Amino acid sequence: HDDHENTTEGQVWSFITEAEGSPQSCPGIPTVTYEGQVYNTVLIGDQCWLKENLNVGSMINGTEEMTDNSVIEKYCYDDNPANCDEYGGLYQWNEIMQYTTTPGVQGICPEGWYIPTDDEWKILEGTVDSQYPVGDPIWNTTGFRGFNVGLNLKSTTGWYGGGNGSGLYGYEVLP
């Protein structure tokens, strides 16, 4: 609507300005060094995220179960350590959480970081989706939700069948 309270209906348009679309590291925390690896940070809205997948722990064979043994255990896709180097480690939920059910626990994260809660994921989704803002009821559903949150967070290369993302926020989720 305009300043004279005139309204009209039409196709919904969305855009992002260059400043918003340019990935920014978290203020005062451009990188985090953990277990000998350097992880970049990215600021999305008011939230600070690690840009890369964690790759910590000792690799175990994909046929083995992870156990509560005070050792962080990880799988590497296809049991190939090079896949952990490229894509990060793969973890069972209990291992990620370090065998607790407390939301927002540090789990396998570096000191000062923690596993995001579902509410924090909802804020991330609402921040990057062009149709449904933070707080929209769509984020309380399960399964596929939102309009283009996945597209906006996916990397611009590597996805099967042309399913690449836009990488607008620098988060660059890998396939």
Amino acid at 170: G
pLDDT at 7: 76
Cβ contacts of 97-106, under 8 Å, gap ≥ 24: 99/68
The whole-number pLDDT of residue 19 equals 43
Cα gap 21→135, rounded to integer Å: 22
What is the tens place of the pLDDT at every residue in 8-57? 776 555 554 444 556 899 999 999 999 999 999 999 999 999 999 999 99
Q: What percent of the chain clears pLDDT 70, i.e. is strictly above it? A: 91
For the cut 50, the answer to whether the pLDDT of residue 65 exceeds it is yes
Tokens matching residue 134: 């933070």
129 pLDDT more than 50: yes
Which has the closest alpha carbon to 27: 10, 47, 3, 13? Answer: 47
Q: How far apart, in whole angstroms, are the C-alpha atoms of residue 43 and residue 54? A: 17
For the chain, give the percent of residues with pLDDT over 90: 81
Per-residue pLDDT band for 1 (boundaries 50, 70, 90) equals low
